[in-house]
Each structure stands twice: as structure tokens, then as C-alpha cells.
Amino acid sequence: MLRQRLTHIAMSLFVTWQTLAIVVAPAPGSYLSDALRTVMQPYLTLLRLDSQWDFFAPNVGEGSRLRYIVEDKDGRQHTFNPAKQLSWFHPNYFWVRGWYYAIMDDPEIYADAAIERFCKEHAALHPVAVTLLEMQEERFTREDFLAGKDRNDPHFFNARTIKHAQCPE
């Protein structure tokens, strides 16, 4: 009887804890949620439960596209849109984009390795240097569409140079 009661109490305590974790993890910052989070953070991190559920929220937001320019030994420039080769039907559609976003967001960590990789990938061009660019999307409204404009028109992108580096010898 005592064992049953203790089991019941233990189960109750755990489900309360787990429910709190489910609710606190995505909660916005507040005095209460921050206090609870201080206690729960190790548990949330260990089990990968520290997740937000803000898909396309609060706004859809404009994305960015990675471009890179390979300069060959003759000085010619070749522009590549690497995400274009990816297919919806393969999960690398999102994996590779995750890497591209990391290159754009944290170039000090990821840019050099990416440049080295692109140099190797395009070895047939005899690359000398690679320039990484972030093409930041501008809003494309319904009015733009009805006016006959193309979403991929350069007018709807801001180009930002992420890094320019020589290819390794």
C-alpha cells in the first residue's frame, strides 16, 4: 500500500516536472519563466527539449541566399547559386541550407572552410579566389507580382560580401 502510494507520488511529481518543462521551454522571458528556466535548463539542454515553436513567427521574414563567385586564373568570374541544385524530396534541402545560413551568419567560423571546399569542388576551373555573397531577399508583394515583376529580379535582393579569400595552393 505504501509502495503503491509512493509510486503514485513519484509518477505525479515526474509528470508535473515534465509538463512544466514542456510549457517553460518555449515561454517568453519573464521573471517567473526565467527563474524556472534556471532550474530546468540542464534538463532541457541534455534532452534537447529547449525548443521554441515560433515557426514563421512573428513574421515570415525575408530569407537569404548564398552565392559565391569563383575567380579563375584568367580573371574570369563564375557565379554559382548552390541551393538551386537541391531538391525538396531530399532532406539535404534543409541540411545544406542550414550550413549556408551558418556561413552567412557566422562567417568568422564557417567561411574559410566553405571557401576551401568550393575551391576544391571547382578545381577544373583552376580557381584562384572565391568570394562569398549573401543575397538578402527584399519583400515581394502581390502588387509586385501583378505589375509583372519577377521574384528573382536583382531589384529584390541586397548583395552583401561575406568574405573574399584566395584558394589554397
Contact residues: another protein, CB under 8 A: 8, 11-12, 15, 18-19, 22-23, 26-27, 41-42, 45-49, 51-65, 83, 88-95, 97-99, 101-102, 109-110, 113, 137, 139-142, 145-146, 151
Between 94 and 126, CB nearer to another protein: 94
Closest CB to another protein among 55 and 75? 55
Least Å from the CB of residue 163 to another protein = 16
Cα–Cα dist 33/1, whole Å: 37
The distance of closest approach from Cβ of residue 144 to another protein in the complex, given in angstroms and rounded to an integer, is 9
* Residue 51 beta carbon to another protein: minimum distance, rounded to whole angstroms: 4
- 72 vs 136, beta carbon nearer another protein: 136
CB of 36 to another protein, least distance (A): 14
- Between 5 and 76, whose beta carbon lies closer to another protein? 5
Query: For the chain, percent helix, then strand, then coil, each to nearest 5?
Result: 50, 20, 30
Cell digits for 92?
539535404
3-class SS at 129?
strand
Nearest CB to another protein, comparing residues 8 and 78: 8
